[in-house]
Chain A
Amino acid sequence: MALSPFASRSPSVAISSPNTALRLKAAAAQPAAGSAMSAVPAAHAHSELTEQLNDSVARNYERGKKLGEGTYAVVYQGRRRDTAATVAIKKIKVNADYKDGLAMDAIREVKYLQELSHPNVIALHDVFSKHENLHIVLEFLPGGDLEMLIKDQDIHYGAADIKAWMGMLARGVWFCHENFVLHRDIKPNNLLIAADGEVKLADFGLARSFADPYLNMTHQVITRWYRPPELLYGARQYSGAVDVWSMGMVFAELVLRVPFVAGNTDLDQISKICEAFGTPTEENWPGVTQLPNYIPTDGSHIIPASGRDFFLRQFPTAGPVGADLLMSMCALDPRKRTTALQVLQHSWWTIDPRPTEKEALPQKRKSAEKKMGDDLSRRGGELPDDSPFKNAARQLDFGAMK
């Protein structure tokens, strides 16, 4: 895996899926071995070959009705011609901002999704270009997203359902971390639901690899309500703990059915986190004062870290063991926070109630397809106009990374 997202700038790498890349190499080897061709025609044939491969992939998909549109992409329902399987085709819009290349989000999405194959991560089927547009063929997920289920007051769910959803989310996140990919935008409306009820991690527009020493990463990621304190304090080196915090927030939201700590600004978010979980100090988080954007709090306003009672009181549905798990996912100090692996090793999964079978989980009846289209076509950090996240959009400053 490359260290920086810029390593795969070359469109040919981004456009051809590993499958096609293999076939491409095999096909290119044959004519070269057969005849002694000069260098120029060989190069010419090669470029033609990539185009041919691209066309053959593109011809394999049939575009259907539009599912949703955002500033970044348009999502269509599609069909594979040879197997008649339904897919979602995400057409990346040609953006004026990225005249000299492809949109970062698209590159990130293709780069990381093609590495990951797991039941709880949206599958990337193919990538092709057509009419100068990049098309990403994704798994078709008609079940809507978790946000719809949380918001729909007509849908009732219990501890077993929450456990099932959290289990699928935790597996997806663990698999990403195991392969050293940070998702960096975990929130209920990026958790899409397949026809069989399986929850899948989608929107890898902000994903990146991690653990590179001395390499700064941006702290302006993750939708604010799900952003961990270390990012709010401007940490430039962080780990999978950021995704675990987001997971904890999703867990809390599933229990409460409203976002747990919902700040209007980054500063408000910090103070809300302090209110809920306690003020970060050198005692409970060594080195916190040295983080770039640390805001000192005066001694009189320090709120003691909330203990187990707080979580038990606040999240009775989760049960005492579930509250313990949530508490460990919401540790202020990222080093003390559980990892995705430890989350899955927690005893909460094996105690009663047993997680609901995915087919038996509550499902959305309304036009969920439209929702999938909207979710997929949104730019990383972009939010629907009517959403409660309105002022919480994260911004990516790519200039700072160059």
Chain B
Amino acid sequence: MASKEGTDRRDDDEVCPVCKSSRYLNPNMRFLINPECYHKMCESCVDRIFSSGPSSCPVAGCRKTLRKNRFRKQTFEDIGVEREVDIRRRVMHILNRREEEFDSKRNYDDFLEQREEIIANLVLRIDVAKTEAQLQQYAQENMQSIRNNQALEEQEATSFQARMTLEQEEAQRRRQIARQEYESERRELHAGREDFLSRLASGTAADASAIAKEGHKVLLKKSSARRSEEDRIRQKQAALRGSETKRTGTPLTTADTAGTSSGLIKGLRKIKTPEPEKPYDPFMGLVPEKRDYYTLQQSYPSAYLDNLQKNTQVSAGGYNLQEYYSRTLLEAFAGLGCFVEEEVSRREAEKVSKPTATEGAAMAAVKEN
């Protein structure tokens, strides 16, 4: 990226193409561009021409209508680069599919190539209208997934930022610890040597070699203990880091199914929408009170049953004559519409593959009716 300062200083006599005022007379002059046509002009010109609403570009031959709020500072010295970067940013913003959304690596690569082609078309002004229309349509159809992927990207960026600062802090802390360790080690070494010297000074000549050996050993032991402690800490940190990266693995996006409808991007993974849950059926498919061959009446005249109806003791116990009617009719019609031979031959054909769990199925089915 070219430094702004550098640009300013080099072109000391830079002149605004619109008002012709030069930097020499106005050292605070800033140049702005508009990504509609990338014509450069000074800040005061922008204020003057566009403050009262959108207006056409003052550069001769350019009829683009510009708005003040779109004017910005130039990032790159080369206006062509500036334009390409803008186009790239806009296209990438729309065509923001992620690798995990594709069936295969091949399809993802194809997508990347396609995106580059679109960018190139726009930069080189080939088929601009058609390409723009395609992009527009895609953006409309995939609004949801574009937004999702944007959110994901943002999330990743922030988490990356957070991780970076964390790592920096960690490194700083490590350096500090290392420095402290070095200090304490040096101090210990120093103290050990002093102790050793004082013991040598106070002891006899015969002890000298023994003391010297002992002192050396103590120092060795200390440093090895420290080293193993360091190893342990390092391993722990490595394990922690490992688990962290596992956790921050990117979650799969929930892209919408419309992704393939415009046909712009191919090879997108098919997203299965879960079937809407069926309402709970308390009977689980069985039909209550299904009677194929008869209708049940409220009462049937019978001298035999009249007494029973009058008996309060019987009815107080919960006995219900209606149930008797219902059962009698059920049993009278049981078996109609049930053809044992057919069922047996069908069962034989199936060659008793299942355990005979439905042994009484025929009978039960009949009862059902």
Contacts and interface: CB of A to CB of B under 8 A. Distances in A.
Q: Do A and B interact?
A: yes
Interface of A: 1, 17-19, 22, 80, 82-83, 85, 87, 113-119, 123-126, 139, 167, 170-171, 174-175, 178-180, 209-214, 230, 235-242, 285-288, 290-292, 333-335, 337, 341, 344-346, 349-350, 354-355
Which among B308, B340, B359, B367 has the highest number of chain A CB atoms within 10 Å? Answer: B359
Contacts of A288: 316
A28 to B, nearest CB: 15
Interface in B26-85: none
8 contacts: A124-B359, A167-B282, A171-B286, A175-B286, A211-B327, A237-B317, A335-B315, A344-B283
A256 to B, nearest CB: 23
Q: What bracket does the count of chain B residues touching chain A fall in?
A: 35 or more
Given A171-B284, A235-B317, A286-B316, A22 B364 contact: no
Given A117-B364, A291-B313, A354-B280, A126 B286 contact: no
B361 interface: yes
A179 B326 CA distance: 10
A80 B360 contact: no
B320 interface: yes
Interface in B312-346: 312-321, 323-324, 326-327, 330-331, 340, 344
Interface string B274-294: 000101101110101100000
A179 to B, nearest CB: 5
Nearest to B325: A211
Given A114-B359, A116-B360, A211 B316 contact: no
B364 A235 contact: no
Nearest to A180: B327
A124 B305 contact: no
A241 B360 contact: no
Contacts, number: 146
Nearest to B321: A213
Nearest to B331: A1
B329 to A, nearest CB: 11
Nearest to A343: B282
Given A83-B355, A116-B364, A213-B305, A341 B317 contact: no
Contacts of B312: 286-287, 290
A334 B331 contact: no
B279 A350 contact: yes
B9 to A, nearest CB: 71
A235 B284 contact: no
Nearest to B322: A211
Interface string B256-286: 0000000000000000000001011011101
A235 B316 contact: yes
Nearest to A294: B316
Nearest to A337: B318
Contacts of A341: 288-289
Interface in B345-369: 352-364, 367-368
A115 B355 contact: no
A358 B283 CA distance: 15
A349 B317 contact: no
Given A167-B282, A180-B327, A349-B280, A87 B355 contact: yes
Nearest to A177: B323
Contacts of B280: 167, 349-350, 354-355
Contacts of A118: 364
A126 B356 contact: yes
Contacts of B313: 235, 287, 290-292
A223 B175 CA distance: 76
A372 B340 CA distance: 34
Contacts of A80: 355
